[in-house]
Structure 1
Amino acid sequence: MYVVGGAVRDSLLGLAPKDIDYVAVGTTPDTLRDLGFQQVGQDFPVFLHPKSHVEVALARTERKTQQGHTGFVVHADPSVTLETDLLRRDFTINAMAISRTGELIDPFGGQQDLNDRLLRHVSTAFAEDPLRILRGIRFLAQLGRFDFQLADETVHLMQSMAPSLTELSVERVIVELDKTLASERPEHGLSQLARLKVTDMLAPELLKLPERFVCKSADARLAEWVLCNEPTTECVARYAATFRLTNRRSQFLSAVIRLKDLTLANPQACLDAMSQLGWLRGNAPNSALDRLLLEFDQTQQLPVPLARWMFMRDQVRAVSATPFVNAGLSGKALGEAIYAERLRVLSTEISAPGTAPGL
């Protein structure tokens, strides 16, 4: 039994491992089941320890059979050695193991690459899985404090692999990009996108990056990235459809983009923007979306703070149709009266903050 992968890497870097992966060599599924292990992996043999419930995988090999991240056939039996198992891994710094006696097994020079702060692929089999390009970008971001760099030969290999990124599902792409955005130094990884030709394949309009990210959440950081490329609302809508963004993320990006150049000089334009963003519908504002908007306010990239927009939105939403209905208005006349009252309230709030009706 050996500890393998990221836990070994993190321990050697002086970091507390988030997850610990174990690999068992020279055994079979039947043997582990007889010892009380519970099998949980369908695509390849992974077992839960009967007491600690940690995951233990059998040493295995992989063979590429079709396109995409999951297009592999896995083979596991007692003849698969530890070195063979480590050979299938992505980077040398992830291809080390520690035995139960504490011995470091490092057949591919991972420890030296750790010391040299280099991210280097283990073998040419790296090219079989295009997701590894995005994983490499993520590792650069997650290990940002150590200033890792890509080995030259790995850069060349990744560049040659870039066209195969289109084989990946959009869900896998988004998962990796979100992990990168949520990392310690996302710009350290994302700065390699253009060099590796990833931007050309996935997001050609997103060439520019912030010098540093101000926000903490992946959602807000995505907006920082998008906004510095001066996108249109049409561009955002297209990416939302292509990458199947969640409704909340799409609404958040739409709000940031629509308000990026809007001042309070024209109250009618402000009211129309609120309506187009869906802020004046009957349902209550989305609290999670509001939290994102307030987080993005830290960037100070919009001419009018989002907190101010949200306050004005709430004043406009407080306008009730009841007085107009009681006055006998209906249909188009009712709609026009509500619009006029909303515009009056908004104009008052813009010209004399804090004096709109109800304050």
Structure 2
Amino acid sequence: MNCSADGNPAVTCNWSCPPTNCGSLPNTCEINNVKVTGSTTITCTVGNGVCGGGTTSITQHITVVSKTRVPYIVVDGTTTTASTITRNKTESLSLACGIQNQNEMNTKIVWKKDGFVRSIGSLYIPSVASSDDGLYVCETSDAFGNFSTSVSLTVLYPAEQFQITNAIGNQCEWGTVGPQYCNITFSLNPVTHSAILKKNGLIADNDFKYKPQSTNIQNYVFMKNQPTQNDTGSYTLTVTSSTFTPVIFSFTVLVSNPFVVPKDNTATIVGAVLGSIISILLIIIAFLVVKLYRKKKPETSHPRSEGNTNTAADDYVELNQPTNRSHTSQPVVRSQQSTNYENLKNNVNVTRDEQGYADIQGVGPSVATTLNDGYETFIGRKYENTAGQSSSK
């Protein structure tokens, strides 16, 4: 540090900075190998002997801090180095945090729990709850860096938060087909305790042997292998610990008709659905096959023989039958072709209708036709033979 002043004659500067040495240069003060922590002051006094040798001075305030600073914790007004503190439920708690030279450095102090800010500066909890149990961290920050320390709070509380996990409300509904059970959960600290189950004021039989767990959450099981109607009634579970008075939890059990567990019909339902889908697909495929077959199948017809006649010597004409005529009972479709009757004798008149079918009428001797499923298979002339008998061919 350098100290200077104007004057004539020249001004002399003197440093008062123990335990330091004045520098080798005029009007300077050097502090070598700083070891003192805390605050100190140094003074520079100047004068030149003029006007009765008067002097003047200036003082500099210096704060020396460690490179590493550890905050300290104050619990209910008392500084502590303990890593864990204990409070009973509903008691109050005050937490503060300090660090060296925090006033000079304008140090910021923040309290956090589970990563969330709980308070700036100090932390006060007027009534401790079981949810306040956990680790509290004090964080400081200033120009010389960020530092932190922590303390764990253990909250002691009697049994609480009772709940039956397999029932609605506080009533267990059982059937007579066992085993049936009530699953009761609760929380407490310390975990050492005893639990007594009673029905109508008397010790109740429990087919499940209860063993306290080593955690704050406890699971008490009341079970009957073969429930009866006598198990219906009001029950109490009394939980006792060494720190608090006993806590009583009340619930009821209702035994109704035999409890029948419904069968799992999932496989049956899935099978039925798949079977229905497959059946529908088969019906659709069959329909498409039939439709395609009918579309490609040609219509069956029985055409008349066209231009295919035989003229016999005895003046009759025979028309050949269609070669593909069916002998089944299915209807026969007439061909649109006409029949050639050019070889008929002059005594037969042949006329055609609009569809091309022939109408044969005899002019002389009558003409007889033989029908076969609506087709003309034989046309001949009737005549008298020498014996006087009529015949047809």
User: Smaller-chain TM-score range?
Assistant: under 0.3
Indicate the structure with greater strand content.
2
Higher relative contact order (CA 8 A, sep 6+): 1
Question: Normalised by the size of structure 1, how large is the TM-score?
Answer: 0.22
Indicate the structure with greater helix content.
1
> Larger Cα Rg: Structure 1 or Structure 2?
2
